[in-house]
Structures are given as structure tokens and as C-alpha cells.
Structure 1
Amino acid sequence: MEQQVVIAGGGPVGLWLAAELRLGGVSVTVVEERPDVDPRSKALTVHPRTIEILASRGVHKPFLAEGLRIPNGHFAMLDERLDFSELDTPFPYTLALPQARTEELLEEHALALGATIVRGHRVSGFTEDAGSVTVQVQGTDGPYELRAAYLVGCDGTRSTVRTAAGIDFPGTPSTVLGWLGDVVLDRPPRPGFGLFGPRGGLLVAPLPGGRHRLVGISPDSRTTQAPPDLTLEELRTKVVAMTGEDYGMRDPVWLSRFGNATRLAAAYRRGRVLLAGDAAHQHFPTGGVGMNVGIQDAHNLGWKLAATLGGRAPDGLLDSYHSERHPIGAQLMEHSRAQTALMTGFTPESLDLRSFLSGMIATQPAFGRALAERLTALAVAYPAPDAKAHPLTGGRAPDLAFTDSGSGLHGRLRADGYLLLDLTDGVPGQGRRPENGHRAGVLADRARPGLTVLTGTLDRPQAAWAAVRAALIRPDGHIAWVGTDRDDAALAAAADRALATTHRATHRSMHGATPRSAAG
């Protein structure tokens, strides 16, 4: 069997990548070792940027309908929580939704787009030549092979693909073991309950089905030895030591420990093999960011890999996956290690440091907002192509609203092409309105395969966009180019130079093509 891409691992990362590749016209097979979705949900939190990503493909509504909206988040379990309500996003909250349900929804999405998902089979290795990868798979009826142009390892921290590719996974071993229990609580604490003190830290979150998740860390958590499996009685003892009561805990469905081993793959790409999600980075699960960062990896990779296979990509585009996402992985390591240090210090000095930082969040709004934007990935920005680029370049485009009252910018993005935003019409002194009344911006005739032109007028002014007359938005929602020239001819020339770096020269402008319009 031959596919353009084989993905090892059918968790949220592999499933989102499969869907993105299908939207880009790529055939894909996902090979997942588990015969069914794991009911034990490691991840529980869907962050604002991930919801934006889902919304950019029109699949966010089931998540919003089923997830519990939480308008704040924690940094290292500090007493003062981070306020998400003021973030520049249509989704200023996290969603509490078990990973098992997230996987089910993403699998439905990928299957509806035509992805092939094989469960109960395991990628065991591969061989690579100049033009393809031959993937060895252990199936229920014995071994077989899949031939593909690329192989992507989304197969977790113990990734078979990463190991077979010879990609190093340097970092630090686990020295701390946190614990969690999914249990029934007859007397649950108030919603959003959390505490931290000399006896340890505890968070309690509601789960569907009348259960709660208890997550904690205690002074005895520092260890390099693997202890026995967590029991309900040990969990009860730990919780009572911190709170004085056990909240009537009973009927556990999952009891587990988790460590702070922190590792980052040396390369996200080696030849025809790429890595995403936990196969590329491992860390202490602080702030519930792990699954989210993995989906964001897949969102960066999907359109680039599809454009490469479709012949639309300029030279070096696929290599930019590593150059853009590896630094984000390094930031994740720093972020999680900093929180781990705060969460595992129970000395008076450590508790004072926690109190100081919590006070900073409470009294310095800019500090709290910066932490919130980093935690939620809204602050992620990729390097601009040169030092003269507009400051917005590389950053995430906000969900700009237009006067046509249609969807915002995120809802108009496409996985299979860029969006050229033309804001030159409808503003005094900018653009022109033809006699027939239809809007026609300066860049309307740049539409071509892999590029949609969106001509419109912003509904609400944004200070950062006040001088912007045009912008080129990537399929993943990041800004590739910003134009501010007041002269129409200079603006058009600058747009053409930008397009020459993002689109192959063979994809020439289709002059006279009907542009997509935000103004009706």
C-alpha cells in the first residue's frame, strides 16, 4: 500500500495532522497501536490558541458545546490565577474536556476528510531512500509494509520513529513524581479549588460523569526511585494531610504518577522523517499545555508538508518546521522547568518566592497578561524574514472583524493556501470603489492557486493595524508579510515581492480572477 504520508500515532497530534494533510490534498494513513481510544485522559485542558486553530477549520463547535469553560488558569499553582478574560481572542478561556473525547472528535474530523486510520497496528521501524520511506508495521495478522513519501512520528515520548531515525532526545531525567486520581467525590470542594502550602499542592477539577480529577504534589514527591503504583488509600492520605478531609473519595477509575523528565528532540526533521508532539518534547505537565503544543506543532507542519508534496512550496519551506517549532519546544522546556521549581519548593524561601510572584500577578496586569499569553500560546511568534519586516510579521493574526458581519479572519483561513488581506478599499484615501459599487482593492488581481484575496474593511480599529493596508496570512494563521505603503503601486510591488518568497514562480497571478470579498 502506498500513501503520501504515514503517521505513527493516532492521538490528538497525529489526528490533527492527518486532517490538515487531507485538507491540503494529501493521502495519509495513521497507524495507531491502541485498538480503541484510551478512556484514561492524560490531557484535560484545551487552550485558547488551540480553540482558535479548531475554529480556523470550522470544527470548534462540538468542543465548545461539551467543554467546561474556565476563564482563568494557573502558573505553577500560584494563589493568584491568570485572567484569560482580557486576552485578544474570541475564546478567552480554557475548555475542560477529557482527552478521550477530544480524540473522538478529531478522529471523526479526520475520517470525514478521507484519512485512513488503522488501529491495533504498530509502526516498528522504517527504511529510507532518496525518494520514499518504507514503513514496517506490525499488524494483527502479522507484519507488512507501507510505502510513503514521508513518515511523521507522533508516537509519544518513547517514539519508535525518533529512535529508528537516530534523532537524539537530550534532557534531564525525572527527579519529581506528581500524582493524580480520577475519582468520585461525595463532598467535592468548591469549583476551581486549589491550594499550596508547606504540606503540598492540590488542584481539583470536575470531569464528565460525576467524577473529579485530583492532581497534586507533596514534599515526598522528590525521588529518583520508581515507587509502587498509586493506591486510593495513598491518595486519600495525601489529600487529608493537605486539607484535613478526603471529600468522600471513592470508586477510582484511574490512579497514576507522572514525572518531570524534560527532553527535547535535537531535530524535528531528518530527511523524510519528521516528529511532532510528545515524540519531539517531554516535560512536566504544568498548566495543561502538552497536548496543545503538540496540536500546534501539527498545525505548523501540516500545510508545509502538503504544499511540499503538492509542488506549491518554495525551497526550504519544510525545513522551516524545525526552525520555527524547535525554539517553541525550547521555550516549553524553560517554562515547565520554571513552574516545576516553584511547585516542588516547600521551604520558607520557596513559599516567599511564590507569594512574591503571586503578588506581581495581582498588582502588575502586564506581568500577568504576559504569562497568560505565553501559557495559552497566543504570544507565539516566528522569526521574521529580515530585520526590516513590520513588527507584526511572524506573529499570530488576531481574529479581525470585517464590516460585512461575516466570520472573522480565522474563519476565512484555508489549510491549502495563503490569504492575502487587502484593506485598501473602503477607507478614505485608500483604494477605489468602481462605478458598479463592488469593492475592488489594489491587490484584487493577485488571486491564484494557493492564494485567496480577501478585500474588506475592518469593523473595529486596532492600534497595531492602524497603518496596515495589506497582509499575507499563512494557512496556520501567522503573518507572513505586512504592507503599509501609502502609494498603491509601491504596495502592489511589495506584495509581489512577498509572494515571490512564499509561492513558486510557476503559480503565476490569475489576472481577472474574482477575488473573495469580506465586504459583500
Structure 2
Amino acid sequence: MDADVIVVGAGPVGLMLAGELRLGGAEVVVLERLAEPADESRASTLHARTMEILDQRGLLAELGTPPNDGMGHFGGVPLDLTGLDTPYPGQWKVPQTRTEELLGRWAAGLGADIRRDHEVTALTDTPDGVQVEVAGRGALHAAYLVGCDGQDGAVRGLAGFGFPGADATRELLRADVAGIEVPDRRFERLPAGLAIAARRADGVTRVMVHESGRTVPDRVGDPTFADVVKAWERVTGEDIGGGTPLWVNAFDNTRRQAEEYRRGRVLLAGDAAHRQMPVGGQALNLGLHDAVNLGWKLAAVVRAQAPPELLDTYHDERHAVGRRVLDNIEAQTLLLLGGAEVDATRKVLAELIDLPRARDRLAGMITGLDVRYPAEPADHALAGLRLPPTELRTADGTTTTTTALLRSGRGLLLDLGAGADDASPWSDRVDVVRAEPPASGPLAGIGAVLVRPDGHVAWVSGADDGPRAALRRWFGDG
């Protein structure tokens, strides 16, 4: 074997997965078709849950403090994100190039072998492993392979994954343009379509435009800047043709999801597993959360610390989350790009979205903070959710946080006063920490919690006689 796991694709999702696998002790080779990192900054929004995950891995200090916008939207209707129960409410503006740089340096520092100019052209999945052919470089073998190579990547097709869904009916053109002066527009609905413009600190303006009633063209490749200029003028009446385009592309409302996220020894994550319109900055965050869910499980399997069936939980958990995100994006697309027929619905939503429960429900969905996985006891308010970032005082008097305790990438049995059962059989993969939580807050009154390496609560005291059944389920036999 050349590695335990081959990851195809060195975008943010593939690099996040590579780092997670290395934390779990797996040997990883990342194969990337491009010879150099892309200089296009397609996705630029990190949501609250992603920021918590970066904190869990100790990456926020290097990231610094990026610009933050507390006001999100649902289908163009303003949505206040500042009231979320997280240290990182809002939308954090980080160019995708910066996210890739950060995750690439982290993964490589942990020992991931990242190989550029390596294009996968064929693969064979057998009961014993996966073999891939790399153009001009021969074959590589691994126990498992994960396709993180995007919506147009090779792995999904080569491995025979079904990818059902619906083709595009609506399109937005997008460009980063220097040297133009246009008013900032936040989802401005005009008689001829939708216009969005946001000027960055460096003077570059990102424009997006949709023409109502215009069919999606049968185009090969990205649109030209001339296409954007003409569409912008038809919708807004403004001429941006004198600007300098730095990047031009288009995105549409194609909706597809892989029928399964695992076929034998091949798995999919990120846009390789789901294709959606990037409304609300959800696509990149969804993919990063796929990687964090999968990484620790796959590492445990290849290290024989858990049975292969643990990988089935990746499909069960993340396919459901992906389907839910696609549903909310489809709803937002109709609200955002629909004509006069959606005006009444938008008006009603604008009234409802100011109600705290409605606002929090939509905000939790978009940010990923409300994702709940199976856990025990199922009816406990905390079971299956991410462990809320909380300050703790440990038994030796040290002050720490729940996110800091997860930085090892191991499981965490947090004894909050119940005297948690002996977990020594799992000491090579689960840390036991005795600590005192604040008198009020999400952990107040809880005796103990078992937390998965991805930060989600697997067990809360009171579910049974102790955490051993949950330890065996998620971390194998001790």
C-alpha cells in the first residue's frame, strides 16, 4: 500500500479531510490535478460552525480576525445572525485561497503527502483496497479512497456513483471587477432581474446578476466578461465595461446529490457528493463539515480501532444533512430569483423572520449549528448536537474550554461530577477529563458527556448505566 487513504482533490474539503485523517493516525496521500493552487476566490464565507471547528483544531490564531457580517439572509430576506449561541456569530469573510492555504499548511504539517499535477484517470475498487491510475505517473494503492474533487471531478463517475437530481433552470453570472464605481447592492430585485454588488477593501467589486426569464445557455466553460457586462446593463442600466475583470464565472440552480456517499472502499465528500446553488455561502461549509464527520471515522477503521461498518454512519448522517441543505437552497432560490409571483411570500417571510424562534431556526440551519446526529438518550436536549463551546475549570484548577479539549482529534469523555465509568480500555483514542462547568449554561446539571472527535455529543449521562455502549459503538472494542 502507498497509503491508508488516498484523497483526490486539494481544495478546502480535501485538505480538511487530510488533516483530520492525520490526526487520527492514518497515512494520507492527496492527489491534485492542478499544478498550482487556484488563484480564484470562489467561496468567501465561513459560518459559525466552521469557525468553531477551526477553533477545535487550533487554527483560528493563524487565520486571524477576518471581516464579519452579522446580517445574513434567507432567499435575499435579511436574517440576523448575531443572536446565535456561539462565540462566532455572523458570516466571516475569508477568501477561499486563504482557507486553502491555511488548511494545506496544517495538513502538510501533520504529515499529509500532498502531490500536485497528479490527475486520476482510472480507479479499481476491490475488497482489499483501491488502485488509481495517475496520468503519466503510474498506479497508487490504498485501503480507501475519498473523492473531494468537486462537482465536475473524476472520482464520482469512475466509481459509478449515481447522481440524481434536476438540471439548471436559472443562472447567475458572477465577476470580480477592478476599476468600477457602482452602488453596493444587497439582493436588489429589479424589474429585469436581480443585481448584487459588494465592494471589497481592496477596491475590487464582486458583481452578480440574474436576468428574469432568461434560459440557461448551452455554454461550454465560463461566461466572458462581455456576457456579464451586457447582462448587468440590461438589469441595472449601468455600464461596467470599463472595469478590469479578475475572475468571471457562472453558477446555476442545478440540484444533485449522490445516491450514496460510500460505495465499497470509495467515498465522496463536498461538492463531489452534492451539487447546489451557492446561496448563503453554504456549499463550502457543508463540504468542510462532511470532511470533519468522515475523517476520524475513516482513520479509526484503517487503524483497526473500529469496524468498517462505522463508515456507514458517514452516509447516514451526512446524506441527510446534505438533502436538508439542498432543500433550503431550493426554497431560497425560488425566493431570490422568482418573479413577481414570489413577492407576497417574501413579504410574509420578512414578517415571520423577525420572530426569535423562526429566526433561530433558519439561522441554525444555514450555519450548521443545529445539526443533530443519533445519540443517547435521544430525547436529551444536548444529545447529538455539537458540544457548545464552554469554559471549564478542570480538577487541577486549570481553566480551559471544550474546544481546546478537542484539539487532539480524539474522543472526549467529560466527567462533570458524575464520576464517569472507567474508560481505560479506550485510553488510546478517548481522553477522560474531569471538570466543573459554569453554574448556568448548556452543561449545567449534566453529570458527564461523551464527545466524538468531530465535536458532536454521542452520549449524555442518564442514558443508561454508563457510557460503555456508546464507547463501543463509536470507538470500537476497548
Fold match, TM over 0.5?
A: yes
Counterparts of 1:344 and 1:194 in 2: how far apart (Å)? 10
Q: Which residue of 2 aligns with 1:515?
A: none
Report the counterpart of residue 252 of structure 1 in structure 2: 245
Distance 2:211 2:398 in 1: 52
Kept in 2: contact 1:393–1:481 (CA 8 A):
yes
Is the Cα–Cα contact under 8 Å of residues 98 and 207 in structure 1 kept in the other structure?
A: no
Contact 1:154 1:277 in 2 (8 A): yes
In the alignment, the residues of structure 1 paired with residue 408 and residue 295 of structure 2 have an alpha-carbon distance, to the nearest angstrom, of: 8
Q: State which drifts further: 11-20 or 203-212.
A: 203-212
- 1:495 matched to 2:467? The reply is yes
- Structure 2 vs 1, CA of residues 179 and 419 (structure 1 numbering), >3 Å: closer, same or farther? same
**What are the residue-to-residue correspondences of 1:480-519 with 2, within 5 Å?**
480-484=458-462, 493-505=465-477, 507=478
The whole-number CA distance in structure 2 between the counterparts of 1:196 and 1:280 is 32
Moved more, 317-326 or 178-187: 178-187
Query: Following the alignment from structure 1 to structure 2, what is the Cα–Cα distance between the partners of residues 266 and 367?
Result: 31
Change (3 A) 1:305 1:496: same
Match of 2:157 in 1: 163
| Structure with max Cα Rg | 1
State the Cα distance separating 1:199 from its structure 2 match: 2.7
Deviates more, 1:444-453 or 1:52-61: 444-453
Assess, with a 3 A threshold, how the Cα gap between structure 1 residues 296 and 369 changes in structure 2: closer, same or farther. Answer: same
Which AA in structure 2 matches 1:338? A
Alpha-carbon separation, structure 1, partners of 2:4 and 2:423: 33
Once the 2 structures are TM-superposed, how far is the Cα of residue 414 of structure 1 from its aligned partner?
4.3
What are the Cα deviations for residues 38-91 of structure 1, in whole angstroms up to 9, with x where unaligned?
A: 1112211111111111110101223343x321112111112xx21111111111
Corresponding residue of 1:216: 209
Matching residue of 2:429: 450
The Cα shift of 1:221 comes to: 3.8
Partner of 2:137: 143
Q: Give the Cα separation in 1 of the matches to 2:309 and 2:366.
A: 29
Is the 8 Å Cα contact of residues 180 and 205 (structure 2) preserved in structure 1? no
> Is the 2:46–2:285 contact (alpha carbons within 8 Å) kept by the matching residues of 1?
yes
The verdict on how the C-alpha distance between 1:402 and 1:416 changes in structure 2, with shifts beyond 3 A counting, is closer
The answer on 1:398 being equivalent to 2:388 is yes
The amino acid of 1:356's aligned partner reads V
Matched, 1:267 2:267: no
CA distance in 1, matches of 2:172, 2:377: 44
Corresponding residue for 1:338? 331
Secondary structure at 1:288 match in 2: helix
Identify unmatched segments of 5+ residues in structure 2: none
1:228-262 C-alpha deviation (Å, 9 max, x unpaired)? 96444443444345445457961111122212111
Which residue is 2:51 aligned to? 51
Measure how far apart 1:304 and its partner are.
0.1
Q: Which residue of 2 aligns with 1:359?
A: 351
User: Any conservation in 2 of the 1:180–1:215 contact (CA below 8 Å)?
Assistant: yes
CA deviation string 1:358-382 (max 9, x = no partner):
22213x1211121111001111111
Q: What CA distance in whole angstroms lies between the structure 2 residues aligned with 1:497 and 1:269?
A: 25
Shift in alpha-carbon separation, 1:194–1:64, aligned structure 2, 3 A: farther
Structure 1 Cα separation of the partners of residues 251 and 41 of structure 2: 13
Q: Where does 1:467-482 land on structure 2 (aligned, <5 Å)?
A: 467-482=445-460
Equivalent-residue separation in structure 2 for 1:68 and 1:456 (angstroms): 34
Within a 5 Å distance, the mapping from 1:294-305 to structure 2 comes to 294-305=287-298
8 A Cα contact 1:20 1:415, kept in partner: no
Per the alignment, residue 29 of structure 2 pairs with: 29
Aligned residues: 474
- The answer on whether the counterparts of 2:269 and 2:291 sit within 8 Å (CA) in structure 1 is yes
Distance (whole Å) between structure 1 residues aligned to residue 369 and residue 156 of structure 2:
28
Q: Find the counterpart in structure 2 of residue 510 from structure 1.
A: none
Please list every run of 5 or more consecutive structure 1 residues that lacks an aligned counterpart in the other structure. Answer: 425-430, 432-440, 486-490, 508-520
Cα deviations across residues 180-225 of structure 1 (Å, max 9, x unaligned)? 11002543535x7442233322222344643121123221444364
**C-alpha displacement of 1:105:** 1.4
Shift of 1:27: 0.8
Q: Which residue of 2 is the match for residue 202 of structure 1?
A: 195
Structure 1 pair 283–214 and aligned structure 2 pair: CA distance change class (3 A): same
Alpha-carbon offset, residue 264 of structure 1: 0.4
CA, structure 1 residues 256+504, in 2 after alignment: closer, same or farther (shift >3 Å)? closer
1:17-166 alignment, distance < 5 Å: 17-65=17-65, 67-78=66-77, 81-138=78-135, 142-166=136-160
Bigger mean CA offset, 277-286 vs 252-261: 252-261
Partners of 1:482 and 1:254 in 2: CA distance: 49
Who is 1:427 aligned against? none
Deviates more, 1:53-62 or 1:214-223: 214-223
Q: 1:117-176 CA deviation, whole Å, 9 max, x = no partner?
A: 1111111111122211111111xxx23111100011111112321112111000011111
Paired residue secondary structure (2:137) = strand
Amino acid corresponding to residue 382 of structure 1 in structure 2: Y
- Given the two structures, how large is their TM-score scaled by the length of structure 1? 0.85
- Paired amino acid for 2:448: A
SS in 2 for 1:372: helix
Aligned partners of 1:74, 1:407: CA distance in 2, in Å?
34
**How big is the alpha-carbon RMSD for the aligned residues of Structure 1 and Structure 2?**
2.3
State the shift of 1:96 in Å: 1.3
1:479–1:250 Cα change, 3 Å = same
CA shift, 1:392, in A, is 1.9
Structure 1 residues 227 and 318: CA distance shift in structure 2, 3 A: closer
TM-score by length of structure 2 reads 0.93
Partner of 2:314: 321
Q: Any idea what the Cα deviations from partners look like across 1:262-289, whole Å, max 9, x if unmatched?
A: 1000110011100001110001111111
Q: Distance in 1 between matches of 2:244 and 2:475?
A: 57
Cα 1:315/1:229, change in 2 over 3 Å: closer
CA distance in 1, matches of 2:2, 2:287: 26
Most deviating of 181-190 and 124-133: 181-190
Q: Distance in 2 between matches of 1:227 and 1:24?
A: 41
AA paired with 2:387?
A
